[in-house]
Structure 1
Amino acid sequence: MADIGIHAPHGPDMSGRHPSTVTPQFAMDEDESRVFNRLLKPDDSYTSEGVYWADLNFFKRAKFVLKNDAAETSREAGNVWRMFKKDPLSPVAYYFRNMVLPGAGLGLEGHTWLAAIEYMEIVGIIVGQILVGVIGDWLGRRWGLIQDAVIMFIGLVMLVSMWGVTLNGWIICYVWSLFLYGVGVGGEYPMTATSGMENAVGSGKISTKEDRLHRGRKVTSAFLMQGWGQFFNQVLLILLLLIFHHGSGNPPYSKVAVQWTFRISFAIPAVGTLWLVYYRTYKMKSASKQLQLQKKKSNVTGYDTQSLKMTFYHFGGRMLATAGCWYMNDVFFYGNKLFQSEFIGIVTNHSNSIMPGWLYNLINVGVSLCGYYLASFLIDNKLYGRKHMQTLGFLMDFILFAIPAFNLEYYTSPEHITEFQAMYFLSSFFNQFGPNSVTFIAAAEVYPTAVRATAHGFSAAWGKLGALTAAVLYNYIDTQTKFYVVPWFGLAGVALSVLFLPDTTGLDLKEQERRWAFIRAGRAQEYHGVAVHPKHLSAWERFRGLSKQYDADLDYAQRVEEMRKEWEVMMQEKADEKAGHLDEQDWEDLDHEFSHEVHSYFKKTTNSPMLQGMEREKRSPTLNGQNGYSDNEVDEKRAV
């Protein structure tokens, strides 16, 4: 059996440095170089001269990015137009299938988000984020998605049907129902992020253009369903109250109106969640494919504890960024309620009606959705991307809270309430067009597949600890003090983002997995690819010297040789299965796995006597008594 380990083709030269160029095992002519360039240097990430986009100076980088973005926009617009001409509803169906359904769980979670900020709900969410994250890496993404939807459904049924003879009994039922539902809500975070991200990557040896250009958009589009859930929930609450309170939203509210409004608001998402159980059970059977491939490569059958330990050791700074920034962000997320309560109290003269608050919150959710969609539009842009988006969002929230904090009486006066309102809505916008969107994707993207759900769940749990901090703290300090305290969490978020968050915008996710293979094999220093490019590392990682490993030419030669080793291993395995020979289907499988051009090149240049013998055997008129095929005949069959 061939050695499947990862090897650098050459070590340092006599001076102790790695050579800038390395001659592969077999020298490639110009045509063969073009074959590998198409695979290893795709034109959406490399110039025609083979230069990686992040190696270009600012002006050349901007020109390259704008040109490629324009071409991709034109291509996508053309696809949409062709879909529309064939079937006017097909673009809507495509959006629903690829953007809505992956985030359906978060949409249903957001549907009840506005009910209350309860301690037990937050605790349940924390439990779900950690527990389901571990389950997702242990038993698989599909199992995590299914059991998570089941838990949410059971929790919603309990919320709809709960009852108590006394007020205390009713509250006890409510709290425990909310806790169980919260466990399901928490699990949606790691499972939606990991499954959505890995679905964009594809399953071949080489990553897809969809992954490189639109991975962030796909994940963020799923995440923004949380905003739509909040929007529809608020609309439903308003309509239900008007229906059962005889067209009025003003107090006093009858028990009948409150009971029907409350129970129906949970019953509707319960129906949607039951459908989600069905969909994830029967329509998402390949959700765990990427995880299974990685476990097979690492010879792991259960939970990969070794990868978890190594992740904390090698990516400790990233953990500080994803968990710490999420903590800071959720303090802001709930801090936005400060603006809302103060603003609504002034414009309604502190009315005890809940309807004005619901209406203004509906507007605020609409503003937030604008932030979500702009984030999905720019999150993959190489000139802006994840890190800049999160840093700017934290900075703007810091400013928007700091301004009224030190002149609260002025901005909360009736004469200046419009300025206060503007800052209120802008803080919501920049929270979504910034840390709230980026923390969700970064907490999955910067970690290896083996522990991706666990790392995301851990980071998200720290976020909910931030929410719990805000929920508890706000009960013990007055409004002025709250405004004094909250802005500094934004400034801390800026610092953590700048120092510890790597920028994975435009980074091939499979290239990051390739780097992890080196790390897990104890050969981290031998990796020289773009995953250690200074652009894709945090300031802390660059300070530690990781970017010095980057060597484009050496990495190119390594990747060719790695593909050769994978090809030889696959050839050997197929030969072992077929008692020493390969049939026509085997050769076609290899063509599919590595592309016909690469497969042909490796066949032509192999130095393995066994593989050369199989190639001669394949060309012979007969093969073990069966008719063989010439290369021309094989090519004709492929063409057919």
Structure 2
Amino acid sequence: MAANEHHGLGGMIPGEIPIPHGPHGDNDDRDDFPLDQDERRVFSHVTRPDDSYTPEGVYWADLPFVQRVKFVSAVDRQAAREELSTIWSMMKKDPLSPISWYFRHAVIPGAGLGLEGYVLFSIGNLASLFAAAWPECWGSKAKVCDANWIAAVTYLEIIGIMIGQVIVGVIGDWIGRRWGLIQDAIIMFIGLLMLTASWGLTLQGWVICYAWSLFFYSVGVGGEYPITATSSLESAVTAGKLSTKEDRLHRGRRVTMAFLMQGWGQFFNQVILIVLLAIFNSGRGGPPYSKEAAQFTFRLSFAFPAIGTLWLVYYRTWKMPNASKQLAEAKSRTSVTGYDVTALKSCFTNFGGRLLATAGTWFCNDVFFYGNKLFQGQFIKVISDNPNSLMTAWSWSLVNIVVSLAGYYAASFLIDNKLYGRKWMQQIGFFMCFLMFVIPAFRYEYYSSPAGIHSFQAMFFLSSFFNQFGPNSVTFLVAGEVFPTPIRATAHGFSACLGKAGALLASILYNYIDIQTRFYVVPWFGLAGMFLTWLFLPDTTGLDLKEQERRWRYIREGRADEYHGVAVHPQHLSLWERIRGASKSYDPQLDWKQKVDDMRAEWEAIQAARGPKETEDNHDHHDSEFSPEIHAFFKRSSPAVRSQGVLSEKIVTDEGSSE
């Protein structure tokens, strides 16, 4: 049955739904307590918030298109007004307070990724500097150093990242997010010290030391992907048992704002390298480059982030005590103390298509992300008067980073928009990257000539923008978001690892084919990523993560078909899941009853744990998970509590007090 056949616009609304017969559908004497007007309002506020439901109780995705656009636009405008009002109030008290807020909520959560972006982006830049300063070792005609070890620098970097992504993903779900965060920071700090001090009695020895130092550092970098994504998703806003408006409206933005620190890391690395080289190379940007200038430039470029990483070790150790809170709560509900192997098996059974989507699209994206470098060297040769100058290449790279940052920020502002959101953003991003590569592939000679070079350059920048305003940002978010809490870091780490396999494929493949052939090969990964997104990726835009966790509990209990909530709404399922019938159980009326029943069962469990005497002594106490009104309603309607004589017949719910 279709969603609207269950519910429709003229279907039963919250106020018309009676309280169901017990937590498991059993018939008891609670039938005497139908929902009155005030109680309907109380439960509607909790189970059908006004940012996702109309006043009539219709979920936004059940609305006809025109009404959906109006509703979503109205909610977004209201949220924007509230945010602007809050910012203005903050500025009146302290003009710099919005900056400190941004630092706490975006810079600090994404600091690890920022440092990662700084260092890994530096590796490619430094390779060009090494080739200019030590051509006998790093150049194309090197005689002193083994070419395999020079290539191994890149390979070991990617392999280290892949290992870190898998291992720390498992550790994050096994030991906890906090330990993963601390461990990553320590590994990256030690790795930076190793890179800064890397040395050898010969150039070949130095290359080997440098390569293994980078490998060690990269293990920590790899761990940053799953651990930063999951900890950002499970931050204090969503750590409580009740859902929040902030989580539903801005969860994607919060994670993406942390992720875009990777772009800022690249930006600061490029600026610092330009400044250092200008200082130590006698103020010249062009060749020749002295060995002393190269030494000071690369060692100081690693020493600066080491200071920031040491601070990150301190902050994560002493200032993030609750990073594992939501994971601990999820494990306590299923009495799991170590790694949740059962959850992992259930993930493959129930969410295998999602894993294919997150891992497969990340793989396709990393081929593109690496392939973006194909453009730059070609148009620099044509457009620049001094193409052999590192300053020229680095300056153009800096421009490209700024364009990429614009893409990051555009993604963060639109990724939560219900009319666009994650899935459309990723599909359009893949398609635009496909176009930007396939067009020059079949007219390469024209676009790499002076006549077409500016068009070539424009496509280069557009591919950078849409890569960030598309798959690069979305893959990072959804690889953790579409999976349940107990295996979220593992699934994210696996997806990221397979993604890096795409970068490894590109780095190896590009050594054996010429530039035009690379342009023939790369575009089709864009179409493949677009297809995987369309078929296998669910759209979690606007979906409350608490609702997804609720569905997961039904799956764990073997009652998947009994779940009727919005987590199985066709809007939030992939085409593959809909074909397999996952959306058939969606029923807003039954879901309303289940939500109230689930809340009642939880409330009664708390009361039973206290015992009759404690319940009586604290009958005016209201648990933090429940509003006073809901607390009072459950007291009135619970036969177990009423039989204790705690309450008289009348409950005054407005103030949450009893008479």
- TM-score normalised to the size of structure 1? 0.92
2:626 corresponds to: 594
2:55 corresponds to: 48
Letter in 2 for 1:602: F
Q: In structure 1, how many angstroms separate the alpha carbons of the residues matched to 2:425 and 2:507? A: 27
1:320 to 348, 353, 356: 356
Tell me, yes or no, if structure 1 residue 66 matches structure 2 residue 73.
yes
2:7 corresponds to: none
Whether contact under 8 Å (2:636, 2:651) holds in the other structure is no
Q: Secondary structure at the match of 1:115?
A: helix
Q: In structure 2, how many angstroms separate the alpha carbons of the residues matched to 1:82 and 1:213? A: 21
Whether contact under 8 Å (2:110, 2:257) holds in the other structure is yes
Tell me, yes or no, if structure 1 residue 415 matches structure 2 residue 451.
yes
1:303 corresponds to: 339
Tell me, yes or no, if structure 1 residue 175 matches structure 2 residue 182.
no
Q: Secondary structure at the match of 2:462?
A: helix
1:367 to 397, 400, 403: 403
1:246 corresponds to: 282
1:399 corresponds to: 435
1:205 CA displacement: 2.7
Q: Structure 1 residues 571, 523: CA separation in 2 closer, same or farther (over 3 Å shift)? A: same
1:76-225 counterparts in 2 under 5 A? 76-116=83-123, 118-199=154-235, 201-225=237-261
- C-alpha distance after superposition, 1:258-288 (max 9, x if no partner): 0110011111110000000110111110111
1:548 CA displacement: 1.0
Tell me, yes or no, if structure 1 residue 604 matches structure 2 residue 611.
no
Q: In structure 1, how many angstroms separate the alpha carbons of the residues matched to 2:491 and 2:251? A: 19
2:38 to 31, 50, 57: 31
Whether contact under 8 Å (2:432, 2:463) holds in the other structure is yes
Q: In structure 2, how many angstroms separate the alpha carbons of the residues matched to 1:567 and 1:413? A: 72
1:637 CA displacement: 9.7
- C-alpha distance after superposition, 1:579-598 (max 9, x if no partner): 742366675352x2211110
1:145-544 counterparts in 2 under 5 A? 145-199=181-235, 201-348=237-384, 351-544=387-580
Whether contact under 8 Å (2:628, 2:656) holds in the other structure is no
2:583 to 543, 547, 550: 547
Moved segments of 4+, more than 4 Å: 20-23, 583-587, 630-638
Whether contact under 8 Å (1:213, 1:380) holds in the other structure is yes
Q: In structure 1, how many angstroms separate the alpha carbons of the residues matched to 2:398 and 2:509? A: 26
Q: In structure 2, how many angstroms separate the alpha carbons of the residues matched to 1:299 and 1:562? A: 19
Q: Secondary structure at the match of 1:503?
A: coil
Whether contact under 8 Å (2:632, 2:651) holds in the other structure is no
Q: Secondary structure at the match of 2:323?
A: coil
Q: Structure 1 residues 404, 291: CA separation in 2 closer, same or farther (over 3 Å shift)? A: same
Q: Structure 1 residues 347, 449: CA separation in 2 closer, same or farther (over 3 Å shift)? A: same
Q: Structure 1 residues 91, 583: CA separation in 2 closer, same or farther (over 3 Å shift)? A: farther
- C-alpha distance after superposition, 1:489-523 (max 9, x if no partner): 00001100000000000000000000000111111
1:163 CA displacement: 0.9
Q: In structure 1, how many angstroms separate the alpha carbons of the residues matched to 2:391 and 2:229? A: 34
1:473 CA displacement: 0.4
Q: In structure 1, how many angstroms separate the alpha carbons of the residues matched to 2:164 and 2:319? A: 23
Whether contact under 8 Å (1:110, 1:230) holds in the other structure is yes
Long gaps (5+) in structure 1? 1-19, 620-629
Q: In structure 2, how many angstroms separate the alpha carbons of the residues matched to 1:515 and 1:480? A: 49
1:351 CA displacement: 3.0
Letter in 2 for 1:492: A
1:113 CA displacement: 2.0
Q: Structure 1 residues 584, 268: CA separation in 2 closer, same or farther (over 3 Å shift)? A: farther
- C-alpha distance after superposition, 1:345-368 (max 9, x if no partner): 222367322111100000000000
Q: In structure 1, how many angstroms separate the alpha carbons of the residues matched to 2:183 and 2:101? A: 26
Letter in 2 for 1:334: Y
Q: In structure 1, how many angstroms separate the alpha carbons of the residues matched to 2:226 and 2:400? A: 26
Q: In structure 1, how many angstroms separate the alpha carbons of the residues matched to 2:469 and 2:171? A: 30
Q: Structure 1 residues 345, 534: CA separation in 2 closer, same or farther (over 3 Å shift)? A: same
Whether contact under 8 Å (1:201, 1:509) holds in the other structure is no
Whether contact under 8 Å (1:200, 1:210) holds in the other structure is no
1:384 CA displacement: 0.3
Q: In structure 2, how many angstroms separate the alpha carbons of the residues matched to 1:386 and 1:331? A: 20
1:75 to 47, 70, 82: 82
Q: In structure 1, how many angstroms separate the alpha carbons of the residues matched to 2:398 and 2:632? A: 60
Q: Structure 1 residues 586, 163: CA separation in 2 closer, same or farther (over 3 Å shift)? A: farther
Q: In structure 1, how many angstroms separate the alpha carbons of the residues matched to 2:78 and 2:451? A: 50
Aligned-residue sequence identity (percent) comes to 62
Q: Structure 1 residues 107, 300: CA separation in 2 closer, same or farther (over 3 Å shift)? A: same
Aligned length: 603
- C-alpha distance after superposition, 1:600-626 (max 9, x if no partner): 000011122xx2244x3478xxxxxxx
Whether contact under 8 Å (2:636, 2:647) holds in the other structure is no
Q: Secondary structure at the match of 1:380?
A: coil
1:622 corresponds to: none
1:22 CA displacement: 6.9
Whether contact under 8 Å (1:201, 1:510) holds in the other structure is no
Q: Secondary structure at the match of 2:162?
A: helix
Q: In structure 2, how many angstroms separate the alpha carbons of the residues matched to 1:636 and 1:202? A: 26
Whether contact under 8 Å (1:205, 1:594) holds in the other structure is no
Q: Secondary structure at the match of 1:315?
A: helix
Q: In structure 2, how many angstroms separate the alpha carbons of the residues matched to 1:302 and 1:155? A: 29
2:144 corresponds to: none
- C-alpha distance after superposition, 1:287-311 (max 9, x if no partner): 1110000000011000001100110
Tell me, yes or no, if structure 1 residue 581 matches structure 2 residue 614.
yes
Q: In structure 2, how many angstroms separate the alpha carbons of the residues matched to 1:93 and 1:55? A: 40
Whether contact under 8 Å (1:129, 1:461) holds in the other structure is yes
- C-alpha distance after superposition, 1:17-67 (max 9, x if no partner): xxx977513421222111100100000000010000000011000000111
Letter in 2 for 1:401: F
Q: In structure 2, how many angstroms separate the alpha carbons of the residues matched to 1:140 and 1:319? A: 22
Q: Structure 1 residues 169, 39: CA separation in 2 closer, same or farther (over 3 Å shift)? A: same
Q: Secondary structure at the match of 2:214?
A: helix
Whether contact under 8 Å (1:130, 1:454) holds in the other structure is yes
- C-alpha distance after superposition, 1:439-487 (max 9, x if no partner): 0000000000000000000000011000000000000000110000000
Which is further off, 335-344 or 218-227? Answer: 335-344
**What is the RMSD computed on CA atoms of the aligned residues?**
2.0
